[in-house]
Structure formats: structure tokens, C-alpha cells
Amino acid sequence: MNIVILTGAGISQESGIATFRDADGLWNKMRVEDVATPEAFARDPALVHGFYNARRAQLPSVMPNAAHLALADLDARWQGGLLLVTQNVDDLHARAGSRRMVAMHGALRRARCQACDAVQDWDADLSTATPCPACGAVGGMRPHIVWFGEMPMGMDQIETALAACDLFVSIGTSGNVYPAAGFVAGVRGRARTLELNLERSAGTRLFDEARHGPATSLVPAWVAEVLAG
């Protein structure tokens, strides 16, 4: 059986990372238009760098939770096809040990040069004064993050996995942002579909089954079911 798992900010919430659209979410503090679009970066790069520098700086102080660890355990033990598609830009799935994974919105701990396109691992702050380690250009370094209006990453690999999947599981996402929110519509009828989320999402009715509760209880229980056959 081939499994595709989609995760969103809800799987990292219990690790202490804010989601986007919950009451205390990031989009209740900042506007997408000000910090998460190419136009915002062109208009005020210092504000955008500050937003991502703060989120990047939080990563060393947070840990993968039981949901991340359960998915990593599944990755290691599942003999069939498996692809974890995360919308998250934190590093918690990788730190938990997930390997068969695509970060479709990029990663906080990577930076890209707009002059030469080189992508680097990056843990420090970024600014308009940061020179590119590859080409030396100054002023062109940006977070290797997919902003609104930009193409998500890894879509060929994701679409190939979705075309072959028998089970699609959506975890911790509100189903508001495409193309991820459209994955379930593309597989339903052909694959079994399951939503694991704290509450109903915008797409709950598209799933064969929906379980609502915290990811740290729902995900380990589901992984145990799958591994028990």
C-alpha cells in the first residue's frame, strides 16, 4: 500500500511553534501582504528578513513532538511506498528522522541567492547586507521559502506520489492554501482519505474519515494502527 501524508502547522503546534490561522496564529499578528510575498520583499526586505529571522531563531529551542516522531517511525518501518509532504518550513520532521519527505514551501534553515540561485543551509540571521557565499553578491539573499504567488517546490514528485497513492492522510492543516488543499480532491474515490486535525478543516467533508483532536494523540495511534496492519 502506498501512503501520502500531508502535514501543516498543526503538527508543530504542540512543539510550541505558532500556527497561521488559529486565534494566536501568525496571520493575526502580521499581514501576509507585508511579509510573505515577493512584492513585500521588494518593498521592505528588512521587515521580511526580520519575520523569518525570528522564526528561524526559535528552532533550536523547540523539539519534535510525539506526532513527528511517530511519522518518522512509520517512515523507517513502512515497507510500501510513503511520501511525507509538509507545508511546514520548520525542521521538526527532519529532526524527528523522517527521510522520504518533501518540504513544498521550502525551509527556514535554507537561504537562496537571487543573483546566482545558489541555495545554502542557513542558521544565522539574513539581511540585505548578507553576501552570497557562492557568488559574493550583496543584497540578494532571501529565505528559501515559497511565498504566496510563487510555485511550491517538489510538485513533480508530489504529483507522482499522489497518482500512485492508496491512502492519503492530512494532518494539522486548515485546508485553506492551494495546491496542498486540493490534494484530497485529486485522490478521493481512488485512495482512502483520512483527516487528523484538532478541529474540522475547510476540506473535512472531502475525507472518507476525519478524527479530531491533538496531533500528539491522534498521529501515534494512527501509526500504530497502520503498522499493526
User: Which residues are catalytically annotated?
Assistant: 105
Residue 197: CB minimum distance to ligand APR, A:
5
Residue 191: CB minimum distance to ligand APR, A:
20
Which cell is 96 given? 524527528
- Pairing outcome for strands 101-103 and 106-113: unpaired
Integer Cα distance of 123 and 72 in angstroms? 23
Residue 117: CB minimum distance to ligand APR, A:
21
Strand-pairing partners, residue 210, are 195
Q: Which helix (H) or strand (E) holds 196?
A: strand 192-197
Using CB positions, name the residue nearest to ligand APR: 10
Closer residue to ligand APR (CB): 132 or 187: 187
| Residues 87 and 106: beta-carbon distance below 8 Å | no
Which cell is 141 given? 539573499
Q: Which residues bind ligand APR (CB under 6 A)?
A: 8-10, 13-14, 19-22, 25, 87, 105, 172-174, 176-177, 197-199, 201, 214-215
| Residues 55 and 110: beta-carbon distance below 8 Å | no
Closer residue to ligand APR (CB): 9 or 167: 9
Closer residue to ligand APR (CB): 88 or 130: 88
